[in-house]
Chains A and B, each alone.
Chain A
Amino acid sequence: MTDTSTTGQAPSSDDQYVRFINVKKSYDQHNLVVKDFNLDARKGEFVTLLGPSGSGKTTCLMMLAGFEDVTSGSILINGEPVNNIAPYHRNIGMVFQHYALFPHMTISENLAYPLKVRKKSADEVKRRVKESLALVELADFGKRYPGQLSGGQKQRVALARSLIFEPSIVLMDEPLGALDKNLREQMQFEIKRLHEDLGFTAIYVTHDQTEALTMSDRIAVFNDGIVEQCAAPEELYERPANSFVADFIGENNRIPGTVARIEGGRAQISLADGSSATTLNPNCPQPGEPCMLTIRPENLFIAGDTLRDNCIEASFTTRLYVGDSIRYFFKMSSGAELMVKALNDSQAPVLTPGALTRLTWDLADGLALDRAI
């Protein structure tokens, strides 16, 4: 699941700045909520843990921060095991979903807190608080209390506070979860900017796949305590390892079928309605086994005069006008439902409900994945 081995040479400690090795966690001694988690994060990398709620993402962060014990396995920072280091000696910045600003302290006092704890001189504290306020564009807000700020401002303060003591690692647990959509996009941008300017190693938790895709160098997709795939955003989107990942990241059409043959780099899939399709074979199950044929809605086309590599028939049910695009919904005779996302231009076809339509896609755009879900 890790991709550090691709370079071929022994990984340096910068390549493995944060390491989770066979980490398992159980809260009740019976059920593992994290099952054999492995991750190597490069120094300065932005790694996202993405997964549905309850899949164990927060638990992994809490173990790294030192707020939860590791049931078995070990966590290394810069080559040193941290299992026996108290949270207040780990020097890790942390941003919480609900900000966790100290309500009885002003913004300046909140920012000064980690510096005062480290017994910095009054002059230095003052200077760095000022710099920090400027960094998150809240220079005039130092004297206010957290209760007097908006959600976005609070989260900027929380971010500034987690960075002010210059930790080399910053953990963020769904930091934008409580913000509305516009603010969230603005803050994503802000976090990326700070990450690029300051060069810390970021471990970011979210259940929002768009957020993960736009911000991360690498994404670990969590499901029920295991990592389904850990890869760069493009790879996750274009070459998902299994149908969970294919489904969780972006939208997908799913057609159940059976692997008929694997030949060279290609796999022949027979579908339930009797037709067949050809795909490339990465991550394809063995011949004879059931599989899930997945095609992204933007890669599936309503056939005009020319056909692409694959073609199936389905009847048109309805369409959804989105604005810049139009979504067409189809149903195959086997019952599988399909969606085509077409640009809203002059070529957008007009179909009557019930019309039998040919849908077509390129060889490289279909994947035959395991049928786990």
Chain B
Amino acid sequence: MSKRITLKDLDAYYGSFRAVEGVTLTIEPRSVTAFIGPSGCGKSTLLRTLNRMHEVVPGARVEGEVLLDGRDLYAPGVDPVLVRRQVGMVFQRPNPFPTMTIRENVLAGVKLNNRRIAKADAEELTERSLRGANLWNEVKDRLNLPANGLSGGQQQRLCIARAIAVQPEVLLMDEPCSALDPISTLAIEDLIEELKQDYTIVIVTHNMQQASRVSDRTAFFNIAGTGTPGRLIEYDDTRVMFSRPSAQATEDYVSGRFG
């Protein structure tokens, strides 16, 4: 299922402001890649260019290439809707649909697209996705209750279940644990560990321990100052990044001396 992502000299703009500049890197399939860096360096922006969510912001645009198994996502004629079905996303703040029940939330990707699904298949998909997100046992008795009755951590795992229910190739996570307690965080980290068997995972995090715990490769981004574009400083195996990085800025950042 999972796919390799290659970025070639990617620039991301908000109107005339260049938020990310000249990023070139390759994200391996069936692995977890972490984006780290100080606030405002463009991690979320870069993440959102990977499933064409960046252009949802009015005036936002992208230059350069993002290749998904060699196919450019920004080539003319590529349908962003189809891209997003292959590259799923989990947001920083849990955002279940308030008008829907837990079950409807999990099936949202199917139902919202007006696709017909047999009742048995829907049951099966709901259970598989919720089990995949480690949430099944907690909600199996209240699938028909509103989703905003769940705790924050449960809501976030519901959002993960919702994202994996459309069976994407890649899963993007933008600080998925920043609103969660340590126990929910651990549950999600375990989940990421399991999900990487099937998916290519990219995670943005501010938590150095988390990056070193869950990721195989780590990319460090930085900005020269406010108003300047974010750049990729260093990209390497997570072990290397946290033990003997080659750039001084990386060492300062991962050891907590700045940022």
Are A and B subunits of one complex? no
